[in-house]
Each structure stands twice: as structure tokens, then as C-alpha cells.
Structure 1
Amino acid sequence: MILRLAILPHAPLLVPELVGGAADETEPLRAACVAAARELADSSPHWVAIAGDPSGPRTIGPDISGTFRGYGVDVPVALSAVESSSDPGLPLAALAAGWLRARAGALDVRVELVHPDLPTADCLAVGKRLADEPEVGFLVLGTGSHRHGDASVGRPDDRAGPFDDGVRAALAAADPEALLALDPWLAAELGADGRAAWQVLAGLAEATGPWRCTRSELLVPYGVGYHVAVWETGV
């Protein structure tokens, strides 16, 4: 039974060693993510993470460790608190899951990757399949649009604000139907790589609900939308 879900970004700027002089500026996002991850660990020390990645569909077991070296600094992470084998090619989502696991004090995390372009109906099916997981915390990883304003990573797009406001409203209401209504084409246009993972979450929620949101926040440092939310079972 899944008792709690945490919806978080998987961004290199979560790791203070990777952002150098911007560590203080990015601390609010980091603190919010770690606090939500600790709430997830309070419900279960065993996690399943879902994220979009071009290598998906793919499962990465908890017996793996890696490093953020490819993002500029050799910061080691592990998906389990016990000894593990090293994979220097771990994707960002797995690295972020391992980093969050360690900060939250969870014992292990298995990472389920889906392709970022996975159609909504297939995301729904993956979520329903994962609904049978016994006694785990569920970590949903993905970012919103990277086109918010002149400071954005991508070209500024006036649709970014309404898109991420809609995602935040759906997360705050624990509303799987609203998540399933997200347009995959628009999400891709806006660089919102969390769309597939959020729609897997919707499938999971439909199969296991009702859910309620206990934390919801949207932060937009450097023009990128980062969603932080926690859902718990119950009305």
C-alpha cells in the first residue's frame, strides 16, 4: 500500500556542490525538496521513483551507485544505504533520487524510467501497474517549463506561466484528471519534462485514491518551473 507520494524536480541545482556561488540563492528550493523527501521517508524507508528519460522504459535497481561528475563535480550518490556496484552512466533522475534518498534517510530507491514522449494512455497504464507496490513511498521526479521570462534556459514563452500554474493547481488539488488533461505536445514545446511522470502519477492515483495534498509549491529560479508537492491517502 502506498501511503504517501512526493512530487519533486530532478535538477542539478539541488546539489550545492554543483552550483558554486549560487548555493545560497538556490537554498529555498533545496530545503523544500529535502523537507518533502523526509516526509516521504517518514511513511516508508523504501521508495519507488518514476521519471521521464530518453533511456526509458528502464528499471534501475537499488543496488547501484553513481556520481554527478558529468554535471561538473564528483559528488557520489547511491540508491541504497548498503554496498552497491558503480554505474558511471546513471541518468540525472536516478542521481537525483539517490541524492534525495540520502538526505531524507530512506534505505533504498528503485527507479522506473519512462520515455518523456510516452503517450498519456500509456502513462496511465504504467501508473496503474505500479499501484500494486507494497509498502513503499512513491517519488515522482520532473520539472516544469524552462521558458519562464527573460532569465529562462529556453526561449521565453508566454504559455509557460499558465502551464505551470495549471500543474500546480492539479497537484494542490490532488486531481489526477487534471494531470491527465496536460497536453503532451505543449509540455514538450515548453520543455516541461515532468509531464510523463505526472501522468504516471495520475494513473497510480486513480488506482489507489482518494488522495489529498498536504504541501504544494511552485518555485521558478532561473526561469525554470520546479514543483514540490506531497500527497497522502485519505479525503
Structure 2
Amino acid sequence: MLSLVAIIPSAPLLVPELAGPAAADTEPVRTAVRDAGARLATAASRWIVVGATDGSVPAARYRSTGGFGAYGVPLEVDLRSDLGGDVGAGPGEPLPLSMLVAAWLREQSQSRAASTVSVTPVLIDPSASPEECAATGRELATTIAAAGESIGVLVVADGATALTPGAPGGGERPSAVALQGRIDAALCAADVTALGGLTESECAAEGAAGRAAWQVLAGLCAATDMVGESLYADAPFGVGYTVAVWTPARQHLAGDPA
């Protein structure tokens, strides 16, 4: 049974050790992400994590452990737990950024919720078509519905990269700002139709690399009424970072926090 969905960015700056002098500036998004993770860990001890691969590396070739050394700090993280949930065993490619961030949040959330979280990673090619993403989401929905336990879903994805004058996507572009506004609205309102309607071309043009992961989520929740809650939506460094929580409407109406 689907118990909760948490949506977070795949930003290295979420990790305080990597944020450096910008740690204070990024504390609001970090706090929102930690809160989302704690709520997810409280709602379910098993997570399905949806995030993009790095480039064209097949999902099965990634290791289960990794570190943020490529981002300046040799901080090691691990997707594994006593309950399982490996990406793969033995030698392989380093974990993609989406799964590094998920592993970091898993460790943070376990300590806050005083529970052990098992992770099942679902890696999606960032260039996957909307139809492929929707199909993956529907398959996950079937798996979750058949499970005899509560399952939480964590989606790790970034928005547009041209939202401020100093943004990494080439400075501020009105088209990127408009697209990010639509993305934020859809994520914070649990609008699966709007997410499914994002096009490959517009997202690629504005650097919104999270499209595929969001469209997997849209497919997963297409047949379930969800209630969205915004925890954060801003662009501290010109990149769209959205943190939101989706609760199944049946639980929301019943007043169940899970």
C-alpha cells in the first residue's frame, strides 16, 4: 500500500559538509528535505526511490555504496540496509547523484524516525520518453498495490537551471521561469496530468533534468487521488528546487499523518 510520497531535489548542497560557506543560505531547503524524509521514514520502513541515472550507464551497473568525493568532500553513503535493497553487488559504476542524495537522506531520516529503512532504487534514463516513464510508473503502482506492507516513494529530481541572472543554465530566461512555475504548481498540488504533459523538448531546453522521474511518479499515482503539500519551492542558485509531500486522499481525509 502506498503510504506517502516525498519529492526532493538532487542537490549536493543539501549535504552540510558539501555546502561550505553557503550552508546558512541553503538551510531552508535542507530543513524541508529533512522534514520530508522524516515523515517518509515514519510512514514506511520500505522506500522505493526514483531518480535519474548519470548519462547512459545502465541501472544494473551501479554499486550500492558511493561517496561525494567528486563534489569535494569524501563523505561515504550507503543505500543498503539490514533489510536489503541493493542496487547491485560487487564492482560497478559509482552511484548517480540522485541515489547519493537518497542514501544521505535515508541515513538522516532513520536516525530522526528511530527506524530502519530499506531502499529499492528505481533508476530512470533522463531521456526516457513520457510514455516510457508512465509505463514504469504503472508497473511500480502494481508492485506497491500487491505489497503486504506500507511503502513510501521518494522522488529525487531537479528543475530548470536558468532561473536567476547567475544561474548555471546561462542566466535567467523567462521561458525557464515560466516552466518552473508550472513544475512547482504541479508538484505541490499533486497534479499528475500536468506532470505527464511536460514535454521532452521544453524540459531539455530549460535544463529541467527531473522530467523523467516526475513522469514516473505521475504514472505511479495516475489511479490514486493524492493531496499535495508544498514544503519548499525556490531557486537559491538559479536551479529549481522543489520539496513536496503527497498523501493518498483516503489517508488525508481520515486524518492519518502517514
TM range (shorter): over 0.9
Cα shift at 1:80 = 2.8
Cα deviation per residue 1:160-197 (whole Å; 9 max; x = unaligned)? Answer: 11111101111222111110111111101111111000
Report the TM-score when normalising by structure 2.
0.84
**Residues 178-187 or 88-97, more deviating:** 88-97
2: CA distance, partners of 1:200 / 1:186 = 18
Residue matched to 1:114 = 124
Residue matched to 1:178 = 194
Unmatched segments (≥5 aa) in structure 2? 111-115, 251-258
2: CA distance, partners of 1:47 / 1:60 = 20
Identical amino acids, percent of aligned pairs: 38
Residues 125, 88 of structure 1: CA spacing in aligned structure 2 closer, same or farther, 3 A cutoff? Answer: closer
* 1:194 correspondence with 2:210: yes
User: Please, which of 142, 145, 148 is the counterpart of residue 157 of structure 2?
Assistant: 142
SS of 1:221's equivalent in the other structure is coil
2: CA distance, partners of 1:166 / 1:29 = 19
Residue matched to 1:204 = 220
Residue matched to 1:18 = 18
Q: Number of aligned pairs?
A: 233
Cα shift at 1:81 = 3.7
Q: 8 Å contact 1:168–1:217 — kept in the other structure?
A: no
Report the TM-score when normalising by structure 1.
0.92
* 1:126 correspondence with 2:136: yes
One-letter amino acid of the structure 2 residue matched with residue 43 of structure 1: A
* 1:8 correspondence with 2:13: no
One-letter amino acid of the structure 2 residue matched with residue 13 of structure 1: L
Cα shift at 1:158 = 1.4
RMSD between aligned residues: 2.0
One-letter amino acid of the structure 2 residue matched with residue 94 of structure 1: M
One-letter amino acid of the structure 2 residue matched with residue 223 of structure 1: G
Residue matched to 1:161 = 177
Aligned pairs (5 A) from 1:31-46: 31-46=31-46
